[in-house]
């Protein structure tokens, strides 16, 4: 398999799907001539033309609103928000319209649209351009929420998202765009709602998302030298959530640490912890611990931003706590 960066893998997914289905179009701020602020849509304008790759005004409500209408009328839009933080001005279009139309029309309406958006801290973009807001979208029935951590998963999950007949929120952590990995050429899909065990282990389950998957894998390498066997589970999609893979892992290891970059309070980890407490409590040999960001805006100061982002050291400390190490 060729090696691609995370951004290149997403670009390849666009190309594969747009070549396959002429109903797919791309829209967003600077997605055409500029190729996207992070290069994900580079070259699509030249290949597919301005009818199918459209630069838009700086109006998120219009980007999402037109996508909802186009999807209801039979197209398959893939729209990009530069930063997920900007969704506030388009929330009605997303959670009140896109997410509810199929239900309100008795299943007769289809809204096959994908909203791609960057998330996460690490580039000094400060409080209004660095948030992880996946828990917001998880809370809305009718939305699917996807959060890949590797180039292979990014391509396969985006293809699956584009082909899905429901609205999908596809979240891409900024710090992953340059991460490289092996990616199949051509067409393949990774199913939505299926977690992946990135590393098998026996002593503790670590459920991690996006960039935190890589932090967890690095922590697991270090912990193995101390004789601690860590199983790393990447949900890949947060809604639908693959509860059974997580529960099976906890039943095996009897311990759970959840790691995400969202703030800890009411984050996705709280839902995962509640599911395990309700359905696998008797298997737990230690309290469930969460490693997450503090309940604060993301700071601009580089030194404070580093402290805000959950660290590999915090993961190691949490694992040692639940294993009694």
Quote the domain boundaries for residue 223: 196-323
Neighbours of 178 (CB within 10 A): 12
* Domain count of the fold of the chain: 2
pLDDT of residue 1: 85
Give the 3-state secondary structure of residue 314.
helix
Strands 237-239 and 144-146, bridge-based pairing: antiparallel
Contact call for residues 93 and 68 (beta carbons, < 8 A): yes
Say whether both 255 and 140 belong to one domain.
no
List the catalytic residue out of 129, 214, 254, 260: 129
| Residue 129 appears among annotated catalytic residues | yes
pLDDT of residue 164: 98
CATH number of the domain within which 238 lies: 3.40.50.920
Task: Establish if 187 belongs to a structural domain.
Answer: no
Q: Spell out the per-residue pLDDT of the chain, length 325, in tens.
A: 899 999 999 999 999 999 999 999 999 999 999 999 999 999 999 999 999 999 999 999 999 999 999 999 999 999 999 999 999 999 999 999 999 999 999 999 999 999 999 999 999 999 999 999 999 999 999 999 999 999 999 999 999 999 999 999 999 999 999 999 999 999 999 999 999 999 999 999 999 999 999 999 999 999 999 999 999 999 999 999 999 999 999 999 999 999 999 999 999 999 999 999 999 999 999 999 999 999 999 999 999 999 999 999 999 999 999 999 8
Phi, psi of 5 (to 5 degrees): -80, 165
Say whether both 66 and 105 belong to one domain.
yes
From 153, 182, 211, give the residue that closes a domain: 182
CATH number of the domain within which 114 lies: 3.40.50.970
Give the up-direction half-sphere exposure of residue 294: CA atoms within 13 A in the CB hemisphere: 9
pLDDT of residue 198: 98
Contact call for residues 241 and 272 (beta carbons, < 8 A): yes
Task: Give the chain's largest Cα–Cα span.
Answer: 60
pLDDT of residue 126: 96
Say whether both 13 and 160 belong to one domain.
yes
CA distances from 125 to 119, 121, 130, 297, 305 (A): 11, 7, 6, 12, 10
Say whether both 138 and 269 belong to one domain.
no
What is the distance between the alpha carbons of residues 5 and 233, in angstroms, rounded to a whole number? 22
pLDDT of residue 325: 80
Let me know the angle formed at the C-alpha of 308 by 304 and 309, rounded to the nearest 5 degrees.
Answer: 125
Task: Establish if 191 belongs to a structural domain.
Answer: no
């Amino acid at each position: 398999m060729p090696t691609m960066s995370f951004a290149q893998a997403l670009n390849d997914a666009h190309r594969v799907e747009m070549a396959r289905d002429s109903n797919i179009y791309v829209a967003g701020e600077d997605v055409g001539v500029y190729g996207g602020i992070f290069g994900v849509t580079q070259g699509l304008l030249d290949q597919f033309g301005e009818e199918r790759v459209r630069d838009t005004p700086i109006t998120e409500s219009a980007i999402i609103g037109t996508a909802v209408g186009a999807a209801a009328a039979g197209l398959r839009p893939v729209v990009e928000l530069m930063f997920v933080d900007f969704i506030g001005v388009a929330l009605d279009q997303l959670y009140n319209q896109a997410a509810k139309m199929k239900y309100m029309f008795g299943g007769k309406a289809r809204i096959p649209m994908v909203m791609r958006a960057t998330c996460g801290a690490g580039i000094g973009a400060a409080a209004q351009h660095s948030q992880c807001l996946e828990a917001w979208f998880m809370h809305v029935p009718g939305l699917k929420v996807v959060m890949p951590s590797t180039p292979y998963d990014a391509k396969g999950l985006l293809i699956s998202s584009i082909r899905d007949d429901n609205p999908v929120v596809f979240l891409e952590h900024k710090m992953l765009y340059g991460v490289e990995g092996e990616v199949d050429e051509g067409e393949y899909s990774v199913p939505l709602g299926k977690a992946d065990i990135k590393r098998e282990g026996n002593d503790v389950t670590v459920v991690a998302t996006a960039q935190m998957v890589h932090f967890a894998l690095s922590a697991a390498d270090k912990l193995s030298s101390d004789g601690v066997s860590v199983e790393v589970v990447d949900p890949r999609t947060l809604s639908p959530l693959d509860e059974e893979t997580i529960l099976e892992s906890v039943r095996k290891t009897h311990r759970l640490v959840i790691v995400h970059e969202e703030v800890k309070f009411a984050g996705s980890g709280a839902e995962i912890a509640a599911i395990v407490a309700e359905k696998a409590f008797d298997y737990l040999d230690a309290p469930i611990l969460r490693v997450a960001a503090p309940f604060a805006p993301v700071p601009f100061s580089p030194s404070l931003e580093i402290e805000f982002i959950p660290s590999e050291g915090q993961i190691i400390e949490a694992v040692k706590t639940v294993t009694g190490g």
